Structure 1
Amino acid sequence: MIQNHSSQPATYTKPANIIPENDQERLKALYRYELLDTPPEEFFDKITKLASRLFKVPSAFVSLVDQDRVWFKANLSELDASCIDRDHSLCSLTIINDTDVTVFTDTHEIPSLLSSPYVSAEGGIRFYAGAPLRTHDGYHIGTVCVVDSKPRGITEEEKGILQDLAQLLVEQIELRVDSRKAVRKHDELQSSLELNVMEPLKEQNLMLEEAQATEERPYLIRKAHQIAQEMLHNTRAMLSDSFQDEAAVVPHPSMIAVATIAQEVAEACEPIANKKGLELFFSVASRRELMVDRELLHKALSLLLTTTIKYTPAASSVALDVYETGDKFYVEVSAEDSVLTEQDLRKALLKYAKLSCKPTGGESTSGLELPRAKAIIEQHNGVLLADLTGHGTGVKFVVAFTI
C-alpha cells in the first residue's frame, strides 16, 4: 500500500499487479459517465489551473483510468499527449490506494517507479500527489493530481485541498449524468404522449365528428369509448413505469432451471395464442440452472412472448425455445410470420417507440413491454437481441446469458 505521508518511505515498491480485483465493475462505472474521448471543457480545465496555482506546481491533470490507458480529461502540462499507458502512470497507483491521497515526494528515491519513462526521463516527474475520483458507489474512476519536476513535501492542508477538488469533480460528473437522464426522460415522455395520448385523441375526435353525420352513432361512440379506455390504460402504464424508474426493482436471485420458468410462461400464454388462432410451440434442449430472480425473469419472458403474439397474424405460429451453445445459454421467442419490420425492430427496444405497424388483433400496447423486458434481462447480465427471420417475414427475440 502507498502510505499517505509528507515523505514516502524508502521501502515502498510498486505492486507487481496494478489492476484491482473489481476492475471490470470499476470500468463499467467509468463508462456510464460517457466522459472518455470527449472534447476539453472549461470546468475541468479550471480545476487543473486552480490546482496548479494552489500547489505552486507547473503541471496538473484530471485523469480517467481506462482498461489499458490513462486518458486526460484536462491536461495542464508540457506533455503533448491525450493519454499514456496505464502501466506507466502514477494515477494507476492512486486508484488502488486505500488512502485518500497518494503522495510521492521524490520518485527517484523509489527504484520501482523508475520503470515509468515519465519518471525516469530528464525533467520527468519527481513530485506527485493525487486524489482518487471516487463515485457514489465507491469506484475509483480516475484522479485529480499535481506534478512537479522537483522534489517537494506536502502539508495536511494541501492534501485536504486535493480531496476537495476531487469531490468537486465527482459532483460535477454525477450532475452531468443526472442531466442526461432528465433529457432522455423528457424525450421519452414526449414520444409517449404522442403515441399514447395525442394520436388516440385525434382518432377519437374524428369518430365523434363522424358520429354526428351518420346513422352508425352507437358503434362509433362505443369505439370512441374503447379508445378512451386504452388511453387510460396506457397513461397508467406510463405512470407506473415512471415510479419503477425512480425505485428500480432489486433482483433476488437463486439457482433455478430457466427452462422451468419458460415452461410456466408458455403454459400461461397458450390460451392467449389459441384465442388468436395461433399455435404455440415450446421446446427445451437445456435444463441448466442459472442464478436469476424467478419472478423478474418470468415477467421478462412473458412480455417477450405476449408482444410477439400481438404482432403475429392469425393462423400462424409462435415458438419459445430454450437451448445452449458453447458458453452461451439462450431463450428464444419467435414467430414464423410477423407484421414487425426491420425498422420496427431497430426501435422496438426503446421506450415508447412509435412503430410502423399495429397489433394484428387490435390489442393495446403502451410501447413499454419490450424495453421493460430488456431492462430486466440486463439486470441479470444478459443481452436481448431482435432480428427478422426467414425472408424477412418472421421475427425472433433472443435472450443470451454467458454460462
Structure 2
Amino acid sequence: MGSEVSIKVKASFVNKYKEGYPLISKQLINNASDLTEEGMLINLVDEGHTFIGKGYYGKQNKGYGWVLTHNKDEKIDQLFFERKIRAALDKRKSFFKDQETTAFRVFNAEGDGIGGLTIDYFDGYYLINWYSRGIYTYKDHVLATLKNLVDYKAIYQKKRFNIEGKYIEEDGFVDGERGQFPIIVKENGINLAVYLNEEAMVGVFLDQRDVRRTIRDKYAKGKTVLNTFSYTGAFSIFAAIGGAAKTTSVDLANRSLPKTIEQFSVNGIDYEAQDIIVEDVFHYFKYAGKKKLTFDMVILDPPSFARSKKFTFSAEKDYKNLLKEAIAITENNGVIVASTNCAAFDMKKFKAFIDAAFKESNRKYRIEEEFSLPQDFKTIKQFKEGNYLKVVFIKKLNG
C-alpha cells in the first residue's frame, strides 16, 4: 500500500469501465507488467491519459484487482472504508432487528463498493474474508472502521488467498473475546452450528437462506429427500423440520458425518432416523440406480469444480449429466432443486442445461420457481458475474 501506478485500458473497454465495471482484468488492460506490489493503487486511464477510475492491485482467481472510485480526488483511506462499510450496515438495518435470523452478510464485495472483501455477521461475531493479499494490505482501515461502527463479541478473519502456494491455517481471531465454538446462530428460526476458527468455511452457506426456507415451508412435508454434496447437511435439517418423511445426506468429505450429526442435534432431531452417508456422490447415484432407489426430492448443490479419485466435476461442462443422474432417481411429480454458484454462466444457460438433461432423459418437466442471491448479498448491474447463485426448483412430470 502506498505506491501508485497508471494503467492504460484497452480502447475497446474504456466505456465498459466508465459505465461502472469494477473488475480490473488482465485482458482489458495494457501494461499489466507495471503491477508489482499487491495493494498498490491503480489509476485507470485511456490512451490519452484521461482518468477513468481508481482501484487497487490484488490478484485473485477473478482478476488483477478492483475499481474503488471514479472520482480522481477521492482518497483511499480509512474515511473511504468507513463510508462504504457504514452505508452497507445501514442497508442491513432490518436484518439486525430480525430475531429469527442472526446470521447474514453485512458487506458483499463489489456489490457494496470494495471488491475482494466480504464481512459476515454471526450473532454478534463478525467474520472478514480477504480474497487477495492486495485487499489485506488495507486491513488496518477495515478493522479500525469495524471497531468504530459496531458493537461486537469478537472479530475473526479468513485469508482466502495463498502465500507461496499454501493457505495459511490459523484460528483467525482478531479482536474481542474468543468464541466458544460452535456458536449457535438462527436462520428463519432454525439453529445452525457455526465455526469461525476452522479452515476456509464456517459450516453454512448464507447465500442459500431463501432456498432452505422454501424447502422447509413448501416442499418437504411427507417427502423422501436426497441431499447431495450435503456439506454439513443444512438443506437436510430444513427438510426434516419441514416434515420430510426421511432425509439422506451424501458427501465425500469425512467431516460431513460429524458435522451433519451436530446440525441435527442442535435442533433436537434424532439423527439416527436419517441417513448420513460419506461417499462419492457420483458413486452413490450408480448405487441408487442399481438398487432402484427413488426420492421425492433431490437437492443438487455441487461445487463449481470438484475432484475425487474417480471423477472430476466442472459445473460448466458436467452439470447436464449430473442432472440426468438425478432425474433417473427422482419420483414422478418429484422435485429436483438444481443449484450452482458457478459464475461462468448465467441463468439462461443454466436453464438450457436443465432443458437438455430432461430432453436427453425423454422426460417432461416444469420449472416451479427460481432463486438468485438474497437481499443481503448486494450486487450491481454492471457486474453480472457477481450475482453468481442460480437455483431452480424443477418438477419431474409424468410421461
Name the structure with the higher helix share: 1
TM-score range, shorter chain: under 0.3
User: Larger C-alpha radius of gyration, 1 or 2?
Assistant: 1
TM-score by length of 2: 0.27
Higher strand proportion: 2
The normalised TM-score by structure 1 is 0.27
